Structure 1
Amino acid sequence: MPVQRHRVRPRSTATPSPSGSDAHSAGLTVDGRAPRFACGTCGSPLDRYAELPSGVVTYQHPIWKDADHPPVPVTADTVAATYVCDFCTDPKILFVYATTRRVLIHVETAQGSVVRDYGIRWSACVECAALVEARNLSGLLDRVLARGMSFAAEVRAHLADMLRQVLTLLRPGRALTADGRWDALPLVATTLPKVRDRLAALLAGDVGLPFGLGHEAVRASLAASLAITRLYWIDEEFTVLTRSAAQVLPRMGFSPGDLPAAHGFVAWTQPVDRRRRCVAASWSSHGDTVQLVGYRSIGDGLPPVPLQQLRGEVGWLVPTFAVTLRPGQPVTATHPAAPLLTTWRLIRQRLAETTPVKVDTSVRRAYRRARRPEPEVALVRIRGTRTRSAPAQHTGTGGESERDFRWWVTPHWRYQPYGPRRALRDWIVVRPHLRGPEDKPIRATTTVRVLGALPPRPDAPAGRR
């Protein structure tokens, strides 16, 4: 039926929405929410239509989607659905809003009446969210039209009616979503205290949070732990090593002894997993239980003014997962905590060295004005190796100076002399360490072996007891 020319909605029905108490903490609710549908072929959210008076429901690709195939409606949680701003179609969404009731628009076609169901969930990018917060109908309409297709006058009127209903029916508050497609923006070591403080303020605030972090007790506890957390910044080489090792991490049981500090915050120079785009993580200890939250960066590509507003309202990071670890709990390469557990173990096994980083002068002055101790940031890097490359390098398996890679030596026991005149002998532990030319790349496949436990102490050789 010729509904295509009336399909004016530049938004998706499959908008991300907070769940449970996270929704209620932002003034949102999940009551009466219809299932979300996306295309099983391309993952694009689908628009919902209901013919009148028959009530027959059909689904179409949104108007901004240049689809070369018919829609295949499936529930959105069964495919890797892609989400965009429900106003301007920007993929860098950050907030979710809700209306008090479903927004419905009637459209007259040559075949009869069709009702357009916009639902109650509305995803928004940073710039559209600012217009929504200001209830700026004309500004929001201008932005939608400027970023959309060339609409006829009747379609413009339809859009204006839809946006007017949204702004009129908005419920209080908003929630964060982790579904935006932001490019990674590495954090700078010297500004890490400011990033941490802004994140603590976000967790302690009233914006809705995903992954069960919206409970008042949970967010208050996380914000308090961030205020006293130890800050770690992982350099480029260590980050690459961590990511490579985490991808093939064998099954390991978590132990509180893995932690380099009871409360900590770590930032990597690039994402350490592909799916979650995690560039930072924090942890807080509660007895033997550890609450772990991973974060992705936001703000890349924004113009200066919206970027400054984003830094003030949200900061540099938003949660991308949250898990709880208990003693003995297994962690594998697919677990979201795998990169952090890998980092902990590499630090704990003395494979890394930490040096203090002098933070920005403006940050130190702000701390002094607030009468807070000067913040400390620990730069974490791989310990230096003992051998250097020879002037002419050769590929092969010869001596250490001839190899074109570095490799990890696993922890092991060595039976050797000690004491006065080295007359006594006993087993000592040889800690894991790097071998090979220090200007060569590390063979990642050797890293996993280092993460394992020290083998049992062997018996003394016969005749040497």
Structure 2
Amino acid sequence: MTASPIAPHRLGGPPTEMACATCGRILNTYRTPGGGVAHLHPTGPRDYDHRPAPVPADQLTAVARDCDFCSNPYPILSIRSGPVHAVTIGEDTQTSHNFGDTWAACISCARLVDAGKAAPLVRRALDRTSWATDAIAARAVQRIHATVLATRRPGATLITTTDWPHTPIPAATMPKARDAAVKLLRADATTLTMFEAPVRRAMADGLDQAHLYAVDDELTDLARHAATDLPAGTTLTAADLPVPHGLLRWAQPHGPHRVSAASWTSTNGEITIITYRALGARLPPEALQHLREDIGWLLPVTTIHVSQHTATAGDEVALLTATLLLIAQRCTEILETEPDQRIARAYRRSRRPLPAVRLVQLRGRAAHPRTGQPAPVPASAAPDRPAPNVRRWVSGFWRQQPYGPERSLRRWRYVFAYLRGPDTAPIAASTTVRVLGKIPPRPASQPTAPRREPSVPG
């Protein structure tokens, strides 16, 4: 038995799509001569060092599937047609293949299908496979594609489980990425299975007003660590949000869904969150341009409604919760960055206000109370002590601040948590989650002399 190189083999009706639990590859399904069912890896240039472990594909967070037209490894849209059957007649055997009515398409093939261009679609399939040298296979491909185009049904469904490699999104590109996500949410022709129509419209409206946050690598690492160790009972509420509507992008993906960004909309105390996977890596320039125009930079993966949500280590909300708590604890500093100049010109042409992109990064050493600049590290401090090779969090504390005539008076000032150590040194992970604590109450007494700064917690 050999696998069909054109589409997953279907048995009668619309059976459950099966994938290999080991490698995530979509499996081809066959009826055996004895009447049973067999699941096999698709044939092709890949080698498999394991037997298929079939599970329903919707149980996996990322699925390794191919375009059913050209075998591109990054299909993005699911297209419906009338049922497609193929019959293979041999000298003494006859095999019936039921390909079903659902076809995964990469962005280039989806455009050709939409335009009804049968010849380029067939040529693209043949050029990317070994079938071009097989006249019988080439005719079969041509007939199957012609049937799909002739019976094509309107609309398409976004495929959210394709195993896309992470694609970094520059902070300067975020306005355009947000606009593309809004357009996708409002596109009636593209079905997003995780949304009901009213929620989809509300999320599009909120995303259109969203403030933009780009989290740098260092803060992303800290938030990922903190998300796995959030204190029990930590909740995400509307009061924790810096703004009612926001879009936040991390520098690196997180979790089984490889989440790279999240947007939120808050109305009447309830929060609706969409998590996104970044997409577009490893596509040739023309296909990448088509993907940006039709889909964008962000692929919606999950939607979550939060009224009083407890974040846990494996929760889709945990990373967002940890990041927002870090921001709220003022362990970060937020700098506005300039959007891409081409994007800025496009906004000016459409007479739209250019949104600010806020780059969120970790706060460094304790800032000077007047200048806001990092306080210098005294060169004379412990000259015989070797320089630390890691950075550690100094927990927030209350201290006495001199003020008044000749700085003779004192008042309490809270010093927020900050990192101590060389700027280029890594952060000691054992101390990172301490910044999630609440501000302690101000001491009742008023000492007459400034209190010494506490030592770094170990």
Fold equivalence (TM over 0.5)? yes
Partner amino acid for 2:345? R
- Say whether residues 1:331 and 2:311 are aligned partners: yes
Counterpart of 1:137 (choices 103, 114, 118) is: 118
Counting only pairs closer than 5 Å after superposition, residues 24-423 of structure 1 correspond to structure 2 as: 33-39=14-20, 42-50=23-31, 57-64=37-44, 66-67=47-48, 71-78=52-59, 81-100=63-82, 102-110=83-91, 112-150=93-131, 152-210=134-192, 212-213=194-195, 215-251=196-232, 252-271=234-253, 273-327=254-308, 329-386=309-366, 402-412=387-397
Query: 2:456 aligns to what?
Result: none
Hey, what's the Cα distance between the residues in 2 that align with 1:200 and 1:40? 34
Shift of 1:423: 10
Query: 2:452 aligns to what?
Result: none
SS in 2 for 1:119: strand
SS in 2 for 1:270: strand
User: Could you tell me whether the CA contact under 8 Å between 1:51 and 1:114 is conserved in 2?
Assistant: no
Deviations 1:164-203 (A, max 9, x none): 2222222111111122232222122222212211221111
Deviations 1:188-240 (A, max 9, x none): 22222122112211111124344522x32122111111221111112222222
Partner amino acid for 2:294? E
User: Could you tell me whether the CA contact under 8 Å between 1:410 and 1:433 is conserved in 2?
Assistant: yes
**Once structures 1 and 2 are overlaid, which stretch shifts more, 159-168 or 34-43?**
34-43
Q: Structure 1 11/292 Cα, relative in aligned 2: closer, same or farther at 3 Å?
A: same
Query: 2:372 aligns to what?
Result: none
Partner amino acid for 1:323? I
Deviations 1:311-344 (A, max 9, x none): 22111111122212223x1101211122211111
Q: Structure 1 349/438 Cα, relative in aligned 2: closer, same or farther at 3 Å?
A: same
Hey, what's the Cα distance between the residues in 2 that align with 1:405 and 1:426? 33
Hey, what's the Cα distance between the residues in 2 that align with 1:117 and 1:288? 50
SS in 2 for 1:12: coil
Deviations 1:76-106 (A, max 9, x none): 3456753221222222111111123x32211
State how many pairs are aligned. 431
SS in 1 for 2:147: helix
CA-atom RMSD, angstroms? 3.3
Partner amino acid for 1:264? G
SS in 2 for 1:334: coil
- Where do 5+ consecutive residues of structure 1 fail to align? 15-31
TM-score w.r.t. structure 1 length? Answer: 0.82
Q: Structure 1 347/165 Cα, relative in aligned 2: closer, same or farther at 3 Å?
A: same
Hey, what's the Cα distance between the residues in 1 that align with 2:328 and 2:53? 50
Partner amino acid for 1:287? N
Counterpart of 1:431 (choices 416, 420, 424) is: 416
User: Could you tell me whether the CA contact under 8 Å between 2:31 and 2:38 is conserved in 1?
Assistant: yes
Query: 2:434 aligns to what?
Result: 449
Partner amino acid for 1:186? P
Partner amino acid for 1:372? R
Q: Structure 1 309/352 Cα, relative in aligned 2: closer, same or farther at 3 Å?
A: same
User: Could you tell me whether the CA contact under 8 Å between 1:250 and 1:333 is conserved in 2?
Assistant: no
TM-score w.r.t. structure 2 length? Answer: 0.83
Partner amino acid for 2:252? Q
- Say whether residues 1:11 and 2:4 are aligned partners: no
Q: Structure 1 436/147 Cα, relative in aligned 2: closer, same or farther at 3 Å?
A: same
Shift of 1:438: 2.8
**Once structures 1 and 2 are overlaid, which stretch shifts more, 314-323 or 43-52?**
43-52
Hey, what's the Cα distance between the residues in 1 that align with 2:378 and 2:415? 26
Deviations 1:24-76 (A, max 9, x none): xxxxxxxx632222345544322233479x86544433222544555454433
Hey, what's the Cα distance between the residues in 1 that align with 2:401 and 2:128? 76
SS in 2 for 1:442: coil
- Where do 5+ consecutive residues of structure 2 fail to align? 367-374, 447-458
Q: Structure 1 445/371 Cα, relative in aligned 2: closer, same or farther at 3 Å?
A: same
User: Could you tell me whether the CA contact under 8 Å between 2:331 and 2:435 is conserved in 1?
Assistant: no
Q: After TM superposition, what 4+ stretches of structure 1 lie above 6 angstroms from structure 2?
A: 387-391, 417-428, 456-461
Partner amino acid for 2:395? T
Query: 1:23 aligns to what?
Result: none
SS in 1 for 2:247: strand
Hey, what's the Cα distance between the residues in 1 that align with 2:278 and 2:260? 7
Shift of 1:290: 0.8
User: Could you tell me whether the CA contact under 8 Å between 1:103 and 1:162 is conserved in 2?
Assistant: yes
User: Could you tell me whether the CA contact under 8 Å between 2:194 and 2:302 is conserved in 1?
Assistant: no
User: Could you tell me whether the CA contact under 8 Å between 2:63 and 2:163 is conserved in 1?
Assistant: no
User: Could you tell me whether the CA contact under 8 Å between 1:189 and 1:233 is conserved in 2?
Assistant: yes
User: Could you tell me whether the CA contact under 8 Å between 1:93 and 1:179 is conserved in 2?
Assistant: no
